[in-house]
Each structure stands twice: as structure tokens, then as C-alpha cells.
């Protein structure tokens, strides 16, 4: 890996820093990554409007999209640099699944009518999207999904259930997978659809997590009619469309930088509160070593991200390397959260509904929210399996 920017990359990095210094709204500075408080996602969308408009002028809402679709056409390394600087400056992310998932899929597999209808509204934030992939019996083995779509004239009729659908209660549209051929091998009988969440027969039931938030949902489909024009790509080819990714920067550098900032915040808290009963730094000197270890681990996460983007910049496709990054980062998030609760002592167990909760309950909220980090996005067991078989060459059985 070359840790030095080329002259062109250094110039671009400076332009991002200048933009953030001049344009990032003051109310966002210091908010930090990740967001662990409670609140209404829709109100946060509205709060982001001014920031979104400033990014849109630069084409930086979907910076790696081609310019003809409203992006900036950035290279892999430019996208990485922008994400890194955004994270360092604690700038909030915009775009969501519309920018990161369905947009790139439509750019490759969508027809002209689908691109015209949806891409512009993704960039403006007019439409929010959610993902309908996981089902109660189809999590890690997603290809076993059972939600069915049956062709009926100009429509498909969908019946079934999705679960763990993040943001479904606020989403206007869903991109989803459904089985269109029950006789075909499980990977070959699935199709990819776009579904209007206002369609009759769609029921959304929020699920409350351990932190008291409704981040994800159950979604039920009862004879929901989806126009055939909302089928993306070919029927029964949805599994392969669903795995589509463009050669965008996917190194998780924002997460790595965010984890380092979290640890630095813990160190700052321990220093500022060492004598007021909230920190056990003096009572438990080993906490010093634990904080040091968390900081070193955050830097390791950054190096793993650098490895992934270096491969992408060379035209390589990260495989087990991406699994290593995800596995290490998700488990590190849990270790950082545990260190925070330990550092704050009994006060660290309090959520933000208590006047005694340090940092407005962030320690406890982070602890309960990160429990799911080793499940979401591919379990740690799945990631270890990929590393073992594809990275180490071990047999699958």
C-alpha cells in the first residue's frame, strides 16, 4: 500500500477539506459518527435538507455515480478520500440505500424509463428507499426466501413477509427479491422488484430494539400488485442483479475513522471526569491499557480499509479481504461500547431518560445497539467461513 497521495489526490483532498470548512453547517459539527441517540428518522431527513443541497451542487450525494446520472464520476480513490475527510470532520451522511444500493443497480440493470423515474428523486431526497431481502426463515441463507411473485396480466401479485427491514416505516419505495419460479434451483428462481410502499396490501410493523428504537420492521404482503414495469432486469435473474455492485469505494473507511473518534472521545471523557465519580481511571489503572488497546484496534481497522481500497484502485475485487474488514470492525464496535460502559461505572448503564446519564446515555445506547453489529450485514460466523475457505483455502466441510 502507498500511504501517500498523488499530487492530484492531494489537491482533491484539500478541496474536500476546504468545502467542509466553509459549507458544513455549524449544528452538525461535533455530532459525530455513529449516531446513537433516539429520534424520528423523518425529522432527521428534513434537518439534512440544507446540507443535501450543498452536496448536490458538487455532485457529491452520489459522488461515484456517472455524471450523466447526477454524480461526480469520482474514481475509487477520490471516493475514498472524500469519505475519509467527511468522517474526520464528522459530516453526516445523506443518500441512504437509494444512493448506495438501488441507484447503482438501476444504472447497470434498469431500463431508461426506470432510470428517468427514480434516479433524480433519489438524489433530491424526495424518495427514501428500504431493502426487502431478509425473511424470518431466510437470513444468512437468503436464497431460500419464500415470498412469492406471480405474474397476472400487467402485474405481479406478491405474497409473503420480510423482516429486519431498516427504515421501512419511513420509506416511500422498497427494492426487494421475490420468488417467481418455485421449481427452479433456489438461486435461479428469484426476481428483483421495485415496490411502492403505499400499495394496497402492504403492512409495516416496527420492531423495537434493545435501545428502545424502531430501526427495523416486519413487512407483510397480502396480494400486493406490482406493475410488471417495476421488474428490474430479467425475470428469475434477480439473485444476480441483487448482488450487483459498481466499482465504488466500499472500504468502510467512515466506520474505521468513526471508531477512532469514539475512542478519542472515551479518552477525553476519562481525563475530564477522573475525579467526579464517573470514571474509574484512577481506581482501575488497567483501564488505561484497555483504552490504548481500543485505539490501536481502531488504527488496525483503518489499515484494513486501506487494503480494500488499494485493491479496488488496482482493479481488483476484494473478497475475503472485505470480510476481514467487516468482521474486525463489527466486533471492535462491541469492544469499544463495552469499554465505554466500564469506564463510566454504574452511571454507564443509564440511558438518556435519566438525569444522571453521562453523555446523555450514549454509553448505554451504544452498548445495546452494537449487539446486533455482528449479525447485521452478514454474521461473524459467515464472515469467518469466507475468510477460512476463500482466504486460507480451507475445505468447506
The CATH class for the domain spanning 129-241 reads mainly beta
Nearest to 192 by CA among 153, 229, 234: 234
CA distance 270 to 279: 6
Q: Residue ranges of the domains in the chain?
A: 7-94, 129-241, 253-391
SS3 helix, strand, coil % of the chain, rounded to 5? 50, 15, 35
How would you write the pLDDT of the chain (397 residues) with one tens digit per residue? 778 899 999 999 999 999 999 999 888 876 543 444 444 555 566 668 888 889 998 999 999 899 999 999 999 899 999 999 999 999 988 888 999 899 999 999 999 999 999 999 999 889 999 999 999 988 878 899 999 999 999 999 999 999 999 999 999 999 999 999 999 999 999 999 999 999 999 999 999 888 788 888 999 999 999 999 999 999 999 999 988 765 556 788 999 999 999 999 999 888 887 766 555 566 677 888 999 999 999 999 999 999 999 999 898 889 899 999 999 999 999 999 999 998 888 888 888 878 888 888 889 999 999 998 998 888 999 999 999 999 999 998 6
Instruction: Estimate to the nearest angstrom the gap between the alpha carbon of 314 and the chain centroid.
Output: 24
CA distance 382 to 392: 14
151 DSSP β-pair partners: 156
CA distance 295 to 278: 21
Nearest to 129 by CA among 261, 18, 275, 232: 232
Integer CA distances (angstroms), 364 to 15, 90, 340, 342, in order: 38, 21, 8, 10
Given the candidates 3.40.640.10, 1.20.140.10, 1.10.3720.10, 3.40.50.410, the CATH classification of the domain at 253-391 is 1.20.140.10
Cell of 18: 476546504
From 84, 88, 249, 297, active-site residue: 249
- Entry pTM: 0.86
128 in Cβ contact with 167 (< 8 Å): yes
CA distance 304 to 383: 15
Burial of 278 (0-12, 13-18, 19+ CB in 10 A): buried
On the CB side of 303, CA atoms within 13 Å amount to 7
> How many Cβ atoms sit within 10 Å of the Cβ of residue 43?
9
255 in Cβ contact with 244 (< 8 Å): no
Domain 7-94 = CATH 3.90.226.10: no
Quick one: DSSP state of residue 24? S
Which residues does 270 contact at the CB level (< 8 Å), separation at least 6?
279, 281, 287, 291, 343
CA distance 343 to 291: 9
Burial of 113 (0-12, 13-18, 19+ CB in 10 A): exposed
Q: Is 330 helix (H, G, I), strand (E, B) or coil?
A: helix
| Residue with the three cell numbers 492531494 | 10
Would 7-94 and 129-241 be classified into the same CATH topology?
no
Quick one: DSSP state of residue 65? S
Integer CA distances (angstroms), 67 to 11, 40, 74, 199, in order: 20, 33, 9, 33
179 DSSP β-pair partners: 148, 190
CA distance 178 to 161: 10
249 assigned to active site: yes
Q: Are strands 148-152 and 202-207 parallel, antiparallel or unpaired?
A: unpaired
Amino acid at each position: 500500500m502507498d500511504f501517500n497521495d498523488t499530487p492530484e489526490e492531494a489537491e482533491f483532498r484539500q478541496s474536500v477539506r476546504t468545502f467542509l470548512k466553509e459549507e458544513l453547517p455549524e449544528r452538525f459539527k461535533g455530532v459525530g459518527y455513529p449516531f446513537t441517540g433516539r429520534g424520528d428518522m423523518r425529522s432527521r431527513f428534513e434537518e439534512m435538507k440544507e446540507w443535501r443541497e450543498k452536496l448536490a451542487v458538487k455532485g457529491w450525494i452520489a459522488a461515484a455515480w456517472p455524471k450523466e446520472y447526477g454524480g461526480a464520476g469520482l474514481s475509487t480513490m477520490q471516493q475514498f478520500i472524500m469519505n475519509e475527510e467527511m468522517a474526520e470532520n464528522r459530516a453526516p451522511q445523506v443518500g441512504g440505500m437509494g444512493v448506495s444500493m438501488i441507484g447503482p443497480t438501476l444504472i447497470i440493470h434498469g431500463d431508461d424509463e426506470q432510470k428517468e423515474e427514480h434516479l433524480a428523486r433519489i438524489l433530491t431526497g424526495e424518495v427514501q428507499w428500504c431493502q426487502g431481502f431478509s425473511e424470518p426463515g431466510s437470513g444468512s441463507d437468503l436464497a431460500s426466501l419464500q415470498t412469492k411473485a406471480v405474474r397476472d396480466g400487467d402485474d405481479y401479485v406478491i405474497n409473503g413477509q420480510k423482516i429486519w427491514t431498516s427504515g421501512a416505516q419511513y420509506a416511500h419505495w422498497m427494492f426487494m427479491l421475490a420468488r417467481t419460479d418455485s421449481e427452479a434451483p433456489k438461486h435461479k428462481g428469484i426476481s428483483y422488484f421495485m415496490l411502492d410502499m403505499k400499495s394496497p396490501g402492504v403492512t409495516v410493523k416496527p420492531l423495537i430494539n434493545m435501545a428502545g428504537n424502531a430501526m427495523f420492521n416486519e413487512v407483510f404482503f397480502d396480494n400486493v400488485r406490482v406493475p410488471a414495469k417495476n421488474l428490474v432486469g430479467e425475470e428469475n435473474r434477480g439473485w444476480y442483479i441483487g448482488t450487483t455492485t459498481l466499482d465504488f469505494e466500499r472500504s468502510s473507511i467512515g466506520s474505521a475513522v468513526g471508531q477512532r473518534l469514539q475512542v478519542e472521545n472515551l479518552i477525553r471523557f476519562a481525563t475530564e471526569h477522573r475525579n467526579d465519580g464517573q470514571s474509574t481511571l484512577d481506581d482501575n489503572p488497567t483501564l488505561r491499557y484497555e483504552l490504548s488497546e481500543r485505539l490501536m484496534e481502531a488504527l488496525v481497522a483503518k489499515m484494513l480499509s486501506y487494503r480494500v481500497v488499494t485493491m479496488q484502485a488496482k482493479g481488483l475485487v476484494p473478497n475475503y479481504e472485505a470480510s476481514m474488514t467487516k468482521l474486525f470492525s463489527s466486533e471492535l464496535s462491541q469492544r469499544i461500547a463495552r469499554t465505554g460502559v466500564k469506564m463510566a461505572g454504574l452511571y454507564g448503564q443509564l440511558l438518556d431518560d435519566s438525569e444522571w446519564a453521562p453523555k446523555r446515555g450514549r454509553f448505554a445506547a451504544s452498548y445495546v445497539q452494537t449487539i446486533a453489529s455482528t449479525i447485521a450485514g452478514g454474521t461473524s460466523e459467515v464472515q469467518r467461513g469466507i475468510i477460512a475457505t476463500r482466504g486460507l483455502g480451507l475445505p468447506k466441510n
